[in-house]
């Protein structure tokens, strides 16, 4: 609050001045920035930088893509002693795609310094809101828009998925593996393309079933699709379907419980989904997970923006060479000889000796 000094004559004005003086006496002893922080709920740090995100319809607890992004936002907040809420860090969840623009606008009105749109499906909304608010900074994950106040973040999913394909083909006993995708969009196409390419690299005769459920938030569709695949002889399924993939895990666990000797596996996506495959202390159907460093990218970009180095108008791409994608620790599910083969391909891809396609070869 700025202090004003001026002559007062009328008694009514004097009364108003007295009220203002009572409100401002203690606050004026503090730095202006600190007073602003206190009134908005920010941490008491003069360099506080607020960050928030909008999820896609998969939800913040999808145990996959959105959850990884939220973990990154929380990590940034903790690193800088921020609190959840206005002036710190936060998220808004989208129940339908109609919520995207509304949620982005809400975070802008709450004056967050950097706002993330999570997922390819949010591209149009981010582009529209960024155009209306050129002075604000945005980050878009898994898609690109042309705007100086937006940084686009992409991943070479096909490279990590290639390794998942190698693992699936080598661990399959039936010679049949499956891919369950969410919505049929470029980012999910990259997962499928890499998976197919990696599997065929180690077993040209491998049979691969691919199915898109058309949703990222329908676990029941994931379960139905997995049931069909496992029933046809598939024994390893790689999903890239967000919360829909939770249904794949449910189906696999049910089958494993009925027949402990069944060779039934799931390869998780985006985050380490080992916990999703747990049946008991000795049994788990998660073979491995293809990790996508969404959380790492969020922390990296947030720090850049905080330091005045916001890469607006640019597209940042993270692959194997940048440690942006990789396979999670299999906790012994993958034997050492198979892991050695996976590591060989990882090195060749990182060095550029193998170029993994972004679309399935017809």
- Whole-angstrom distance, CA of residue 19 vs CA of residue 149: 42
Q: What pLDDT score does 47 carry?
A: 65
Class of domain 157-292+332-350 (CATH, top level): alpha beta
Residues linked to residue 288 through DSSP beta bridges, in sequence order: 267
Residue 6: pLDDT above 80? no
Class of domain 51-155+295-318 (CATH, top level): alpha beta
> Helix (H, G, I), strand (E, B), or coil: what is residue 61?
coil
Q: What is the pTM of this model?
A: 0.82
Residues linked to residue 325 through DSSP beta bridges, in sequence order: 292
Q: Which of 122, 166, 181 minimizes the C-alpha distance to 345?
A: 166
Model pLDDT for residues 27-65, shown as the tens digit of each residue: 444 444 344 443 344 444 446 899 999 999 989 998 888
Residue 155: pLDDT above 80? yes
- Whole-angstrom distance, CA of residue 224 vs CA of residue 315: 37
Residue for token digits 């596996």? 265
Query: Where along the chain do its domains lie?
Result: 51-155+295-318, 157-292+332-350
Instruction: Please give the mean pLDDT across all residues of the chain.
Output: 89
- Helix residue ranges, H only, 203-323: 219-231, 246-258, 294-306
Residue 241: pLDDT above 90? yes
Q: Could you tell me if 254 and 277 are in contact, meaning their C-beta atoms sit under 8 angstroms apart?
A: no
Model pLDDT for residues 157-186, shown as the tens digit of each residue: 999 999 999 999 999 999 999 999 999 999
Cα torsion angle, 167, 195, 152, 49, sign:
negative
Q: Which of 312, 172, 155, 141 minimizes the C-alpha distance to 235?
A: 172
51-155+295-318 and 157-292+332-350 agree in CATH topology: yes
DSSP conformational letter for 277: G
Cα torsion angle, 131, 132, 133, 134, sign:
positive
Phi and psi at 35, nearest 5°, equal -60, -40
């Amino acid at each position: 609050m700025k202090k004003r000094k001026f002559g007062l004559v009328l008694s009514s004005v004097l009364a108003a001045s007295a009220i203002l003086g009572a409100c401002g006496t203690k606050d004026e002893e503090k730095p202006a920035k600190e007073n602003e922080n206190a009134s908005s709920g920010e941490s008491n740090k003069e360099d506080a930088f607020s960050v928030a995100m909008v999820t896609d319809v998969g939800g913040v607890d999808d145990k996959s893509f959105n959850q990884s992004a939220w973990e990154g936002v929380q990590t940034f907040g903790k690193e800088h002693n921020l609190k959840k809420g206005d002036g710190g860090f936060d998220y808004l969840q989208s129940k339908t795609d109609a919520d995207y623009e509304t949620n982005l606008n809400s975070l802008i009105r709450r004056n967050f310094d950097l706002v993330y749109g999570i997922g390819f499906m949010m591209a149009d909304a981010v582009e529209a809101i960024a155009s209306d608010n050129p002075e604000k900074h945005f980050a878009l994950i898994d898609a690109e828009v042309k705007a100086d106040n937006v940084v686009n973040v992409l991943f070479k999913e096909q490279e990590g998925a290639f390794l998942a394909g190698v693992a699936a083909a080598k661990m399959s006993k039936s010679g049949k593996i499956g891919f369950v995708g969410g919505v049929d969009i470029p980012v999910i196409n990259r997962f499928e393309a890499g998976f197919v390419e990696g599997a065929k690299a180690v077993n040209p005769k491998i049979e691969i079933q691919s199915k898109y459920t058309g949703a990222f938030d329908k676990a029941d569709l994931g379960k139905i699709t997995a049931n069909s695949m496992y029933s046809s002889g598939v024994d390893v399924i790689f999903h890239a379907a967000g919360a829909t993939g939770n249904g794949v895990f449910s189906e696999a666990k049910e089958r494993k419980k009925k027949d402990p000797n069944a060779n039934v596996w799931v390869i998780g996506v985006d985050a380490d989904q080992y916990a999703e495959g747990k049946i008991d202390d000795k049994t788990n159907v998660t073979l491995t997970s293809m990790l996508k460093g969404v959380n790492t990218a969020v922390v990296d970009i947030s720090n850049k923006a905080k330091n005045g180095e916001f890469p607006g108008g640019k597209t940042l791409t993270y692959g194997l060479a940048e440690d942006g994608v990789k396979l999670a620790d299999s906790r012994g599910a993958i034997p050492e000889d198979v892991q050695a083969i996976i590591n060989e391909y990882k090195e060749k891809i990182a060095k550029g000796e193998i170029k993994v396609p972004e679309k399935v070869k017809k």
